[in-house]
């Protein structure tokens, strides 16, 4: 009985462990390949990026010096890691999971491919497969524009995705658009990712309470998600759509901790009065000593 | 700038004269005049504030008793304005900002990369922490967790209240800095801080080699009159109150929220060094924070609300600018490999 | 108003006898000088290497120096207690020892200023305190009141000395010429006129009144250096009176020691009598009882509640790493002396001397036990630092510097007591005059 119990435990433990280590990449994502061929330049760029973003956990590839975490970060030059497809690499770096952070906001697709290029340089057997350019019919990169329109009443933001062709402007239907508000250190996603309708229009709900600058201005940026099809299409604008923010400086009020010019009045007053009073008295006493001296001197003169 | 120099008494007459002046001053200024000066300063400063004339001149023009560089007398003129400029902007801070940090305890696995990044940037010894990751366990049966502890940059900072010389101060953007050109080393601020966030340069501080090389290069450039090199290096060798480098023996040092990086639009050293996505940092006025690892940006209020944020010892009334997210749903096993050294 | 008669002649002669530079005095001063020189070397080493030569580190960032500073400020308060509080209430037995109390006040207040400089990381920037002083900082209040108290004490020492200087200047053939000249200058043409006496007595009275709030301020503010923080063990509302009463204990003990030393080495048994020791013994019991009361308040109330942080702190004090020092200080410096001094035989000069020395040493360590354990107990855990950062172990260098400050205070006391009469001649003559008149009337 006990034996069976232990066996069950062991199997369960093994299974759960296996499950913990299993990280399945969706088939369509695993098929993704780099849009460019890996070169010594891409490898060099990837090395710098690797050192800045990956090395602190994974260590140097091939050196087996990852930091001891649970689960341990694999050595990316190792056989296990190198048996991954390029697309699997790309997916894992982009999305992250658990302790492995997602890099989709901090690294561009090109950056990630450069890192993969660097990692592949540790694998002699690797043969690269390069993506064939997938393009939509009638679309030339660089001719696509995103135009903004603000509907003030309901704080809705509309964007129109247009393709400039020889016959004039044409709306693009079914293009996924992402909208961001620019913040000091990064881009804040606004609303969900939306697809354009037949007229190339897409509408985003802007949160009513998102702060803008002192006049409510917010720097916005829209982007087409499918870079493979459209290339990098971005558009920036500034709208007075945010909540006006004009908070006072944090060191404005009179306080104990502020500079002496902004000390609480009572303390300035008390201190000054106290010091002046006592030192006034001290000065008075000194004058009295002088008086004693003068009296004595007069007596001496009279005495003589 | 040269006008400012002329207006300053005693200590500005030039490096060579300085000790004589000071001794002379001390000799002449008896007890009476000294205390009188304090009293007069009180009256003056009160009056001064009423007159709305900020008295920045006195602050900015102090001669550095910077031991790092022996510069020719005529070069002092070019040297001082940089210090005063750095001091001025360092004390003012960034307008319209209210910096805020959010630390996700569920993510911290004590990689100590934040500490490394910080110590390298600020020329600190391995035992000197502007930020330290502590193993916390409130009571016996509550879970242990790792807690990175930077300065809390309180909105009611007890350390700043007690400073006798305005060496440590709070800026308009909320950052509490220390000016080690001003600090007298009384360590009252260290006693006053309930978070043990401050450190002291007990011995001659560490300087990294790159910095030493820059100084040598700067000296050479000064001697040769190489304007281009001087211009390039002068901001890097001069004391920067926003970086607190070079550290100075006998003065207090502390976490600066990497004020120098913020000015450049970059995340603090610790935040961007973290491999585990522990840190969020941003401007409360924008209601947005950015993760140092993933560079993901999110609404501050949403993040605090969804994760049930808390602050360190709020009952003390210090009003910290650092928030913590509870160590809930940790995706790793907590392992304390630290050797317990006299638990506190 | 005093009369030139045989009474004055005799008193002046007896009191002035030890004044001047004797061989023993020079020997004594050279002995102190050697110790002081050694401590100056220690200070030079500290200036050279920084405060790393002390046992202080980032957690225990205040140690012996601050405790020593508090001790100095505390001891100096006795000048106010004896000359003002007792003087203003018309207690006359303090007359022969009032000046001794003032000498101690001046010496300890003056050295207190230096002690705090010894704790500074950048003593070269002392001037910043006056140039950029923040009125919100208790340190600025402390600097202000220490300077003020020193000035008031000096005046309170000097003013009643003026008539004595005038009396003495004609009776100091055994003294060097420079000292005679000094007397001439300092006696500010005193001519024993009624008017001069009136001015002097009025000024002394004003000073006696003004010095009371100043003295209260000086030690209350010193206690606020601790009480104004959020730290466990310091975050207390009774720190002001707690420190103040402790100060009276330390100061009274110091006065008793000085009384004994002057009495025996200057042969002043006629003026400082067993009666004075008895009275001082009673004063000590009173101050110590009040101090004990504050101690009970300070420790019993948190010990009853046992808040987490307090509990840890008190555990260290009562049974932990500081227990030996804590109980030694409480027992030897407070409880045992109280019990003994209640009995008259222990208020005789020699037992009083021994007990006062024990009380004074206890008072010094009491300050250490207030400063260090709190610093060793921060709110957040102490981790990832070497052992020396976690606990405080004083070094030889800082002990040497501390000894140097104590030596400096003793030197100032020695010089003042050797160059000027330690007992007010004119007051003694006045007293003798009153007594003889009293006898005649009977």
> Is C135 or B3 the better-scoring residue by pLDDT?
C135
**Residue B24: its pLDDT value, please?**
44
* Nearest-by-Cβ selection for A188 from B38, B275, B288: B288
**Residue A10: its pLDDT value, please?**
53
* Chain B residues closer than 8 Å to A252 by CB: 172
Write down the ipTM of this complex.
Answer: 0.92
Q: What is the CA radius of gyration of chain B?
A: 22
Q: Decide if pLDDT at B43 tops 70.
A: no
Q: What is the CA radius of gyration of chain C?
A: 23
If you average pLDDT over every residue of chain C, what do you get? 93
Q: What is the arithmetic mean of pLDDT over C130-143?
A: 95
Tell me whether residues B203 and C143 touch, CB distance under 8 A: no
* Nearest-by-Cβ selection for A276 from B39, B96, B282: B39
Q: Decide if pLDDT at C208 tops 70.
A: yes
**Residue B338: its pLDDT value, please?**
55
**Residue B166: its pLDDT value, please?**
95
**Residue B215: its pLDDT value, please?**
83
* Nearest-by-Cβ selection for C120 from B162, B185, B199: B185
pLDDT tens by residue, B186-212:
999 999 999 999 999 999 998 777 788
Confidence of residue A96 (pLDDT cuts 50, 70, 90): confident
Would C1 be classed as within a structural domain? no
**Residue C229: its pLDDT value, please?**
94
Q: For chain A, what's the residue count?
A: 304
Q: What is the arithmetic mean of pLDDT over B261-275?
A: 94
| Residue C136 Cα, gap to closest chain A Cα (Å) | 6
Nearest CA in chain C to B130: C58
Q: How far is the C-alpha of A85 from the C-alpha of A23, rounded, in Å?
A: 13
Confidence of residue C437 (pLDDT cuts 50, 70, 90): confident
Confidence of residue B7 (pLDDT cuts 50, 70, 90): very low
Q: Decide if pLDDT at A257 tops 60.
A: yes
Residue C241, SS3?
helix
pLDDT tens by residue, C59-102:
999 999 999 999 999 999 998 888 899 989 989 899 999 999 99
CA atoms within 13 Å, Cβ hemisphere of A157? 29
Residue C332, SS3?
helix
**Residue A106: its pLDDT value, please?**
78
Asked if C146 and C73 count as a contact pair (C-beta separation under 8 A), the reply is yes
| Residue B293 Cα, gap to closest chain A Cα (Å) | 7
Residue C354, SS3?
helix
For every residue of C10-40, DSSP letters joined together read: HHHHHHHTT-S--HHHHHHHHHHHHHHHHHH
For every residue of C396-419, DSSP letters joined together read: HHHHHHHHHHHHHHHHHHHHHHHH
End-to-end CA distance of chain C: 22
Query: By mean pLDDT, which of A65-69, B31-35, C168-172, C239-243 is the weakest?
Result: B31-35
Residue B241 is given by DSSP the state T
Q: What is the arithmetic mean of pLDDT over A105-132?
A: 86
Q: How far is the C-alpha of C183 from the C-alpha of C177, rounded, in Å?
A: 10
Q: How far is the C-alpha of B214 from the C-alpha of B240, rounded, in Å?
A: 15
**Residue B20: its pLDDT value, please?**
41
Tell me whether residues C190 and A300 touch, CB distance under 8 A: no
> Is A2 or B164 the better-scoring residue by pLDDT?
B164
| Residue C151 Cα, gap to closest chain A Cα (Å) | 8
Number of A–B residue contacts, CB under 8 Å:
148
Domain total of chain C: 1
Q: How far is the C-alpha of B239 from the C-alpha of B256, rounded, in Å?
A: 14
If you average pLDDT over every residue of chain A, what do you get? 85
The percentage of residues in chain C with a pLDDT greater than 70, rounded to a whole number, is: 99
**Residue B21: its pLDDT value, please?**
45
- Helices within B72-192 (DSSP H only): 76-92, 113-121, 158-162, 188-192
**Residue C399: its pLDDT value, please?**
96
Would C225 be classed as within a structural domain? yes
Q: Decide if pLDDT at B25 tops 80.
A: no
User: E strand or H helix at A178, and its extent?
Assistant: strand A176-182
Q: Decide if pLDDT at B53 tops 50.
A: no
**Residue C175: its pLDDT value, please?**
84
**Residue B217: its pLDDT value, please?**
86
Q: How far is the C-alpha of C377 from the C-alpha of C386, rounded, in Å?
A: 16
- C-alpha angle A193/A194/A196, rounded to 5°? 150
* Nearest-by-Cβ selection for A296 from C151, C159, C189: C189
**Residue B47: its pLDDT value, please?**
45
Confidence of residue A170 (pLDDT cuts 50, 70, 90): confident
Q: Decide if pLDDT at A181 tops 50.
A: yes
Tell me whether residues B170 and A69 touch, CB distance under 8 A: no
Instruction: Collect all residues with Cβ–Cβ distance below 8 Å to C57 and sequence separation of at least 6.
Output: B202, C385, C388, C389, C392
Parent domain of C330: 6-441
Q: With 0-12 CB in 10 A as exposed, 13-18 as middle and 19+ as buried, what is C398?
A: buried
Tell me whether residues C135 and A282 touch, CB distance under 8 A: no
Q: Give A 164-203 residues with CB within 8 A of chain B.
A: 181, 183-189
Nearest CA in chain A to B111: A67
Q: Decide if pLDDT at B309 tops 90.
A: yes
End-to-end CA distance of chain B: 51
Nearest CA in chain B to C316: B344
Confidence of residue B32 (pLDDT cuts 50, 70, 90): very low
Q: How far is the C-alpha of B269 from the C-alpha of B261, rounded, in Å?
A: 8
Whether A273 and chain C come into contact, CB under 8 Å, resolves to no
Nearest CA in chain C to B202: C52
Whether C135 and chain A come into contact, CB under 8 Å, resolves to yes
* Chain A residues closer than 8 Å to C188 by CB: 289, 292-293, 296
Q: How far is the C-alpha of A34 from the C-alpha of C368, rounded, in Å?
A: 70
Q: With 0-12 CB in 10 A as exposed, 13-18 as middle and 19+ as buried, what is B292?
A: buried
Q: Decide if pLDDT at B34 tops 70.
A: no
Tell me whether residues A210 and B287 touch, CB distance under 8 A: yes
Q: For chain C, what's the residue count?
A: 442
**Residue A22: its pLDDT value, please?**
78
End-to-end CA distance of chain A: 127
Instruction: Collect all residues with Cβ–Cβ distance below 8 Å to A295 and sequence separation of at least 6.
Output: C189, C191, C193, C195, C196, C199
Q: Would you give the distance in Å from CA B40 to the centre of its chain?
A: 30
Would C195 be classed as within a structural domain? yes
C-alpha to C-alpha distances, B65 to B14, C122, C260, C428, nearest whole angstrom: 11, 11, 50, 56
Q: Decide if pLDDT at B63 tops 70.
A: no
* Nearest-by-Cβ selection for C137 from B132, B162, B250: B162
- Helices within chain B (DSSP H only): 2-7, 18-28, 31-50, 56-60, 76-92, 113-121, 158-162, 188-192, 209-224, 227-237, 259-263, 269-273, 300-307
Would C399 be classed as within a structural domain? yes
Q: How far is the C-alpha of A33 from the C-alpha of A88, rounded, in Å?
A: 9
**Residue A141: its pLDDT value, please?**
67
Please tell me which chains touch C, using 3 or more CB pairs under 8 Å as the contact test.
A, B
Residue B324 is given by DSSP the state E
Tell me whether residues A260 and B96 touch, CB distance under 8 A: no
If you average pLDDT over every residue of chain B, what do you get? 79
The two beta strands, B99-104 and B322-325, are parallel
**Residue C3: its pLDDT value, please?**
65
Q: Decide if pLDDT at B58 tops 50.
A: no
**Residue C107: its pLDDT value, please?**
96
Q: How far is the C-alpha of C113 from the C-alpha of C102, rounded, in Å?
A: 17
Q: Give A 126-165 residues with CB within 8 A of chain B.
A: none
CA atoms within 13 Å, Cβ hemisphere of C105? 33
**Residue A21: its pLDDT value, please?**
60
Tell me the CATH number at C19.
1.20.1630.10
Phi, psi of B19 (to 5 degrees): -60, -40
Q: What is the arithmetic mean of pLDDT over B106-118?
A: 93
* Chain C residues closer than 8 Å to B204 by CB: 49-50
Asked if C58 and B201 count as a contact pair (C-beta separation under 8 A), the reply is no
CA atoms within 13 Å, Cβ hemisphere of C309? 17
Q: What is the arithmetic mean of pLDDT over A218-244?
A: 87
pLDDT tens by residue, C263-278:
999 999 999 999 999 9
Residue A171 is given by DSSP the state E
**Residue A138: its pLDDT value, please?**
67
**Residue B152: its pLDDT value, please?**
97
* Nearest-by-Cβ selection for A184 from B160, B282, B333: B282
Would C322 be classed as within a structural domain? yes
């Amino acid at each position: 009985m006990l034996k069976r119990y232990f066996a069950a435990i062991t199997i369960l433990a093994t299974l759960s462990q296996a499950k913990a280590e299993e990280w399945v990449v969706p088939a369509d994502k695993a098929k993704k390949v780099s849009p460019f061929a890996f070169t010594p330049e891409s490898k060099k760029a990837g090395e710098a990026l690797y050192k800045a973003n990956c090395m602190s956990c994974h260590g140097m590839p091939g050196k087996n010096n990852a930091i001891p975490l649970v689960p341990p970060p694999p050595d990316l030059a190792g056989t296990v890691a190198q048996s991954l497809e390029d697309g699997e690499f790309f997916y894992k770096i982009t999305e992250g999971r658990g302790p492995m952070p997602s890099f989709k906001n901090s690294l561009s697709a090109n950056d990630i491919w450069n890192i993969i290029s660097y990692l592949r340089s540790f694998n002699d057997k690797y043969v690269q497969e390069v993506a064939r350019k997938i393009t939509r019919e009638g679309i030339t990169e660089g001719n696509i524009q995103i135009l903004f329109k603000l509907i003030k009443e309901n704080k809705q933001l509309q964007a129109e995705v247009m393709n400039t062709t020889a016959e004039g402007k044409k709306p693009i239907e079914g293009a996924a658009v992402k909208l961001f508000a620019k913040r000091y250190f990064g881009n804040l996603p606004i609303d969900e990712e939306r697809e354009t309708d037949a007229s190339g229009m897409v509408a985003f709900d802007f949160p009513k309470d998102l702060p803008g600058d002192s006049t409510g201005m917010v720097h916005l940026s829209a982007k087409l998600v499918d870079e493979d099809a459209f290339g990098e299409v971005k558009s920036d604008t500034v709208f007075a759509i945010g909540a006006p923010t004009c908070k006072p400086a944090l060191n404005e009020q009179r306080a104990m901790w502020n500079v002496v010019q902004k000390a609480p009045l009572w303390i300035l007053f008390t201190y000054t009065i106290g010091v002046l009073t006592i030192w006034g008295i001290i000065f008075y006493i000194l004058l009295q000593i002088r008086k004693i001296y003068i009296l004595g001197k007069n007596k001496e003169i009279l005495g003589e | 700038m040269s006008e400012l120099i002329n207006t300053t008494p005693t200590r500005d007459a030039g490096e060579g004269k300085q000790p004589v002046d000071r001794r002379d001053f001390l000799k002449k200024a008896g007890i009476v005049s000294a205390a009188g000066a304090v009293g007069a300063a009180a009256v003056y400063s009160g009056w001064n504030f009423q007159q709305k004339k900020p008295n920045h001149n006195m602050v900015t023009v102090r001669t550095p008793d910077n031991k790092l560089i022996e510069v020719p007398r005529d070069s002092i003129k070019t040297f001082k304005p940089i210090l005063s400029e750095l001091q001025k902007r360092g004390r003012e801070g960034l307008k319209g900002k209210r910096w805020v940090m959010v630390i996700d305890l569920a993510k911290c696995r004590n990689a100590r990369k934040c500490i490394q990044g910080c110590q390298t940037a600020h020329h600190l010894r391995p035992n000197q922490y502007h930020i330290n990751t502590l193993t916390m366990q409130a009571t016996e049966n509550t879970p242990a967790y790792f807690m990175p502890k930077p300065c809390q940059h309180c909105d009611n900072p007890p350390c700043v209240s007690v400073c006798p010389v305005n060496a440590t101060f709070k800026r308009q953007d909320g950052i509490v800095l220390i000016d080690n050109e001003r600090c007298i080393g009384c360590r009252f601020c260290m006693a006053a801080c309930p978070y043990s966030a401050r450190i002291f340069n007990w011995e001659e501080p560490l300087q990294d080699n790159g910095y030493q090389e820059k100084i040598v290069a700067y000296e050479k450039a000064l001697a040769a009159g190489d304007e281009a090199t001087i211009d390039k290096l002068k901001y890097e060798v001069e004391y920067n109150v926003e970086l607190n480098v070079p550290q100075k023996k006998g003065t207090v040092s502390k976490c600066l929220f990497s004020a120098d990086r913020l000015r450049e639009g970059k995340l603090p050293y610790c935040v961007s060094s973290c491999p585990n996505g522990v840190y969020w940092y941003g401007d409360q006025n924008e209601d947005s924070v950015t993760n140092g690892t993933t560079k993901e940006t999110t609404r501050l209020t949403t993040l605090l609300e969804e994760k049930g944020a808390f602050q360190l010892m709020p009952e003390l009334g210090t009003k910290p600018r650092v928030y913590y997210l509870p160590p809930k749903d940790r995706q790793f096993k907590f392992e304390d490999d630290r050797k317990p050294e006299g638990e506190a | 108003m005093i009369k030139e008669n045989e009474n004055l002649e005799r008193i002046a002669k007896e009191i002035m006898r030890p004044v001047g530079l004797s061989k023993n005095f020079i020997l004594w001063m050279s002995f102190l000088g050697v110790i002081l020189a050694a401590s100056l070397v220690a200070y030079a080493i500290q200036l050279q290497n920084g405060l790393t030569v002390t046992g202080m580190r980032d957690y225990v960032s205040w140690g012996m120096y601050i405790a020593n500073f508090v001790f100095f400020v505390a001891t100096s308060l006795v000048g106010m207690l004896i000359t003002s509080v007792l003087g203003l209430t018309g207690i006359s037995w303090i007359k022969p020892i009032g000046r001794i109390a003032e000498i101690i006040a001046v010496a300890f207040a003056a050295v207190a200023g230096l002690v705090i400089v010894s704790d500074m990381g950048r003593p070269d920037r002392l001037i910043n305190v006056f140039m950029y002083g923040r009125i919100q900082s208790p340190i600025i209040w402390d600097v202000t009141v220490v300077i003020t108290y020193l000035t008031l004490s000096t005046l309170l020492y000097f003013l009643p000395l003026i008539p004595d200087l005038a009396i003495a200047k004609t009776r100091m053939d055994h003294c060097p010429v420079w000292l005679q000249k000094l007397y001439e200058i300092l006696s500010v043409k005193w001519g024993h006129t009624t008017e001069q006496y009136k001015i002097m007595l009025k000024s002394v009275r004003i000073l006696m009144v003004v010095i009371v709030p100043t003295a209260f301020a000086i030690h209350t503010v010193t206690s606020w250096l601790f009480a104004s923080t959020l730290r466990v063990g310091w975050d207390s509302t009774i720190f002001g009176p707690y420190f103040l009463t402790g100060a009276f204990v330390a100061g009274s003990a110091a006065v008793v020691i000085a009384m004994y030393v002057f009495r025996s080495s200057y042969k002043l048994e006629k003026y400082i009598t067993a009666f004075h020791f008895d009275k001082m013994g009673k004063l000590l019991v009173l101050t110590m009882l009040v101090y004990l009361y504050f101690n009970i308040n300070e420790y019993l109330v948190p010990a009853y509640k046992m808040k987490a942080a307090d509990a840890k702190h008190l555990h260290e004090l009562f049974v932990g790493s500081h227990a030996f020092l804590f109980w030694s200080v409480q027992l030897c410096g407070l409880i045992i002396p109280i019990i003994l001094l209640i009995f008259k035989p222990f208020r005789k000069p020699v037992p009083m001397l021994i007990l006062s020395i024990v009380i004074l040493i206890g008072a010094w360590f009491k300050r250490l036990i207030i400063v260090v354990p709190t610093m060793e107990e921060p709110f957040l855990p102490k981790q990832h630092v070497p052992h020396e950062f976690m606990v405080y172990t004083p070094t030889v260098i800082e002990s040497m510097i501390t000894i140097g400050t104590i030596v400096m205070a003793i030197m100032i006391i020695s010089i003042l007591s050797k160059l000027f009469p330690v007992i007010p001649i004119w007051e003694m003559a006045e007293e003798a005059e009153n007594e003889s008149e009293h006898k005649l009337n009977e």
